[in-house]
Amino acid sequence: MDIAIMGAGLSGLACAITLEKNGITPTIFEKRGKVGDRFVNGEVLLSIFSRPVHDCIASLSEDFGIYLKPTSNIQKMELFSKNEKVIIEGQLGFTNIRGREQDSFESQLKRQVHSRIHFHSEHTYEQLLSKYSHVVMATGDGNYAKETRNFREDLTVSIKGSTVEGTFDRYTVIAWLNYDIAPYGYCFLIPFSEKEATISIAIPDLPEIDQSINDLWDMFYTKVRDQLKQDLPITDQFQVTRYPIGICRSARIGNTFYVGNCFGSMMPFMGFGQYAALLSGVYAAYDLCGLGKYEELMEPLRQSYENSLVLRRAMEQLSNDGLDRIIRSLQGYWGEKLFQTKTINPLKVAGFLLRPYLKMKKGVTS
């Protein structure tokens, strides 16, 4: 069995690590000149979205032998709607760095991989398939799956973000759900040290949104500076336009495995996808090692995606008044309970409760 992995990101490297642990050496093909050679940004792993697992960093090491050091744990989350605010406290998840930094998740994974990585690869999927018995597609987007009609695209999003300098509490993440600044989307401030943070805005590309992401970004940047009473000079910037979010109809076709965003690990609701990407890489490797069936192992992640899509569609029905009501309802005991309970899966519950309502209202969900 000869295995090619196309893409040395989270899912591709997690797959390689797991194959190696089971005695198989894959060959990895990476388009860029080195691992993580893209923009640098802070990302989060929120426990509320990884249920039933509460601590995904601990689970990755204990259950799968994948060792990742986050930048920090999250002890506080400040959530702002247009007129309301809620502070949730507790062990809520982790922050981490992505991109070319030494401590980025991709760099940390690379240090755990011994297989050869061919950088600056121009190999196409077809070329790899003709040379190798199995191909793991880990290119970080659904484009190849789309070409083979195996991808259901549900939305595209545009994201703009910056690294800013200032004074930050590395244990606190801030999020804004305010449609004046990010219509049907969200904004984040994710610190990756006491002195640097990523601030970003993400909006779905909907025809009813007539402001450009650049204008919205300017508004958001002004708001964050006013709110934090800091200048926040920009040291780096990134922009992602019309990024497709969707899911594969089949996680495996013949001897091709779709992992990470190639499968559909990125949640339509808030764009989280790191944990699912890592798990999908591990599960593809399990199948290749005869330790499980990929399609079956991916079923909970598929369900999670579909529930998250229900939440996204519900979010598109809301206005700022509705968001204010939601933030108000999270104030106090129930908000913290929701973020910390280990027994309830909020995505599953929300999917269950909202699906009939949305079907009745618009017939837009799957």
Ligand X SMILES: Cc1cc2nc3c(=O)[nH]c(=O)nc-3n(C[C@H](O)[C@H](O)[C@H](O)COP(=O)(O)OP(=O)(O)OC[C@H]3O[C@@H](n4cnc5c(N)ncnc54)[C@H](O)[C@@H]3O)c2cc1C
Residues forming contacts to ligand X in the complex (CB under 6 A) are 6-12, 29-32, 41, 43-45, 121, 138-140, 159, 240, 243, 260-261, 265-266, 271-274, 277
- Which tokens belong to 349? 């519950």
* CB 12 to ligand X: min, Å: 6
The residue among 43 and 287 lying less far from ligand X, judged by its C-beta, is 43
Contacts (Cβ under 8 Å, ≥6 apart) of 298: 251, 263, 280, 283
60/358 with CB nearer ligand X: 60
Q: Rounded to the nearest whole angstrom, what is the least distance from the CB of residue 118 to ligand X in the complex?
A: 9
CB of 266 to ligand X, least distance (A): 4
- Closest alpha carbon to 189 in 204, 206, 208, 169: 169
Using CA atoms, how far apart are residues 8 and 22, in angstroms rounded to an integer?
19
Min dist. Cβ of residue 113 to ligand X (A) = 13
Q: Which is nearer to ligand X, 11 or 358 (CB)?
A: 11
Outline where the chain has alpha helix (H). Answer: 10-21, 56-64, 105-110, 125-131, 143-147, 213-228, 274-288, 294-315, 320-329, 333-340, 346-361
The SS3 assignment for 335 reads helix
Residue 199's nearest CA partner among 170, 232, 171, 155 is 232
User: Nearest distance from residue 46's CB to ligand X, in Å?
Assistant: 8
**Distance in Å, CB of 82 to ligand X, minimum:** 23
Residue placing its CB nearer to ligand X in the complex, 173 or 358: 173
As to burial, measured by CB atoms within 10 angstroms (0-12 exposed, 13-18 middle, 19+ buried), residue 17 is buried
Q: Which of 138/187 has CB closer to ligand X?
A: 138
Residue nearest to ligand X (CB): 9
Q: How far is the CB of 130 from ligand X (least distance, A)?
A: 15
Q: How far apart, in whole angstroms, are the C-alpha atoms of residue 324 and residue 338?
A: 17
Q: How far apart are CA 118 and CA 229, in angstroms?
A: 47
**In the block, which residue shows the tokens 């992995």?**
5
Minimal distance in Å, beta carbon 337 to ligand X? 23
Q: Between 43 and 324, whose beta carbon lies closer to ligand X?
A: 43
C-beta closer to ligand X: residue 277 or 314: 277
How crowded is the C-beta side of 301, counted as CA atoms within 13 Å? 33
Residue placing its CB nearer to ligand X in the complex, 105 or 179? 105
The answer to whether 236 and 163 are in contact (CB under 8 A) is yes
202 DSSP β-pair partners: 159, 186
